[in-house]
């Protein structure tokens, strides 16, 4: 059998193969167990040594050549198949893969972090307390006895526990817990989650966040409160922010004040955001009531200081111009992705 003729034939078949299956058949036909070239190798044993050597070499060269041809044809066919798939479907194989989405901190957490940063610069430390609180810390120690009407303002969820417990209605109990364990001077803020039994609307939620502040030393006055609060708002909202204190009432402070900032939108002229008042209410504050100091074993004649409480949700709403508190708790990505 003429090796050259076989070689030419095989080469031709490889070139004209239409798919991988054709190629497989060609391999079998020439190089398989009973393939034409394999048979020539088997027939070598009947030849003389010289002939064996020569033909053996020629067969091996041809084998290698054909194997190389087959591998390059395989690549060409694979490319062709891919193109065919691409043409047949709408799938764009060159499109970049979809990126894994990475989350980020909730806007309220971002604001909390910023607030902690500002107060840290003013020398305040961060304190924390439990969300499920005892009646004593949430009310009694803060000078709100059982039948005091102020309790009605802070209606909440009571827990079915042996000791009377509730979901805290404000972060003020952290003041008491901290003063019990630390000797003055004290400068802390306590951001945290609180709960109220409320009908929800665009400015009320049953669960929201507060920021408590407390500063105790030997001769702290309301002007220290004003200075610190003003510094905070100016750092948070911008240097030109103005504040004012209005007389108010809280059982745990005396005197008590309400803290307002000049409306950021109308700059005090009056607009819908501030109900035409020109000022926005941001929180409560005052000088810590002597009864509260006594309840933690501090002598009010030696120590005094101020406390304040602000809504973190409110601060976040003002900062980012969000008009509905419920958006923060909706888990709606269309809202959250904007921050």
* Site of interaction with ligand DAH (CB under 6 A): 170, 172, 212, 250, 253, 284-286, 307-309
Least distance to ligand DAH from the beta carbon of 258, Å? 9
Residues 61 and 37 sit within 8 Å (Cβ to Cβ)? no
Instruction: Specify the residue, 293 or 307, whose C-beta has the smaller distance to ligand DAH.
Output: 307
Instruction: Specify the residue, 30 or 279, whose C-beta has the smaller distance to ligand DAH.
Output: 279
Least distance to ligand DAH from the beta carbon of 102, Å? 35
Residues 108 and 316 sit within 8 Å (Cβ to Cβ)? yes
Cβ-based burial of 96 (10 A; exposed 0-12, middle 13-18, buried ≥19) = exposed
Residues 315 and 194 sit within 8 Å (Cβ to Cβ)? no
Instruction: Specify the residue, 64 or 185, whose C-beta has the smaller distance to ligand DAH.
Output: 185
Residues 270 and 278 sit within 8 Å (Cβ to Cβ)? yes
> What end-to-end distance do the CA atoms of the chain give, in Å?
80
Give me the half-sphere count of Cα atoms (radius 13 Å) on the Cβ side of residue 284. Answer: 15
Q: Quickly list H helices, 17-144.
A: 20-31, 36-43, 49-88, 107-121, 135-138
Identify the DSSP state of 329. G
Contacts of 249 (CB under 8 A, 6+ apart): 256
Instruction: Specify the residue, 191 or 284, whose C-beta has the smaller distance to ligand DAH.
Output: 284
Least distance to ligand DAH from the beta carbon of 328, Å? 18
Least distance to ligand DAH from the beta carbon of 138, Å? 10
Strand order across the beta sheet in which 253-262 lies: 125-126, 186-195, 207-217, 304-311, 279-288, 253-262, 243-250
- 242: alpha, beta or left, given left = phi > 0 and alpha = psi -120 to 50? beta
Measured distance CA(83)–CA(81) in Å, rounded = 5
Instruction: Specify the residue, 27 or 122, whose C-beta has the smaller distance to ligand DAH.
Output: 122
Instruction: Specify the residue, 227 or 267, whose C-beta has the smaller distance to ligand DAH.
Output: 227
Would you state the structure tokens that stand for residue 3, as one six-digit string? Answer: 């090796």
Q: What residues does 259 pair with on adjacent strands?
A: 245, 283
Instruction: Specify the residue, 37 or 245, whose C-beta has the smaller distance to ligand DAH.
Output: 245
Least distance to ligand DAH from the beta carbon of 293, Å? 13
Instruction: Specify the residue, 7 or 283, whose C-beta has the smaller distance to ligand DAH.
Output: 283
Least distance to ligand DAH from the beta carbon of 91, Å? 57
Instruction: Specify the residue, 7 or 129, whose C-beta has the smaller distance to ligand DAH.
Output: 129
Least distance to ligand DAH from the beta carbon of 134, Å? 16
Residues 305 and 288 sit within 8 Å (Cβ to Cβ)? yes
Least distance to ligand DAH from the beta carbon of 284, Å? 3
Nearest residue to ligand DAH, scored by beta-carbon proximity: 309
Residues 305 and 214 sit within 8 Å (Cβ to Cβ)? yes
Identify the DSSP state of 204. B
Least distance to ligand DAH from the beta carbon of 189, Å? 11
């Amino acid at each position: 059998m003429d090796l050259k003729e076989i070689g030419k034939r095989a080469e031709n078949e490889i070139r004209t193969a239409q798919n991988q299956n054709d190629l497989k058949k060609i391999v079998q036909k020439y190089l398989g167990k009973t393939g034409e070239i394999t048979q020539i190798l088997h027939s070598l044993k009947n030849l003389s040594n010289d002939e064996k050597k020569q033909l053996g070499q020629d067969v091996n060269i041809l084998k290698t050549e054909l194997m190389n041809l087959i591998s390059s044809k395989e690549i060409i066919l694979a490319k062709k198949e891919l193109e065919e798939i691409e043409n047949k479907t709408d799938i764009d194989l060159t499109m970049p893969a979809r990126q894994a989405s990475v989350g980020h901190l909730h806007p309220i957490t971002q604001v909390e972090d910023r607030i902690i940063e500002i107060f840290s610069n003013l020398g305040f430390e961060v304190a924390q307390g439990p969300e499920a609180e005892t009646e004593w810390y949430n009310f009694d120690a803060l000078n709100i006895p059982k039948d005091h009407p102020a309790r009605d303002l802070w209606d909440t969820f009571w827990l079915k526990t042996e000791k009377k417990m509730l979901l805290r209605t404000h972060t003020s109990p952290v003041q008491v817990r901290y003063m019990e364990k630390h000797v003055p001077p004290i400068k802390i803020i306590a951001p945290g989650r609180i709960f109220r039994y409320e009908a929800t609307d665009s400015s009320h939620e049953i669960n929201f966040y507060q920021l408590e502040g407390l500063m105790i030393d030997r001769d702290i006055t309301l002007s220290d409160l004003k200075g610190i609060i003003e510094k905070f708002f100016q750092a948070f909202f911008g240097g030109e922010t103005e504040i004012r204190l209005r007389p108010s009432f809280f059982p745990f402070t005396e005197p008590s004040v309400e803290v307002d900032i000049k409306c950021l939108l109308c700059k005090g002229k009056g607009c819908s955001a501030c109900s035409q008042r020109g000022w926005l209410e941001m929180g409560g504050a005052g000088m810590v009531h002597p009864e509260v100091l006594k309840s933690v074993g501090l002598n009010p004649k030696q120590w005094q200081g101020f406390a304040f409480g602000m809504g973190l949700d409110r601060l976040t709403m003002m900062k980012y111009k969000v008009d509905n508190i419920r958006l923060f708790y909706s888990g709606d990505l269309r809202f959250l992705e904007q921050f």
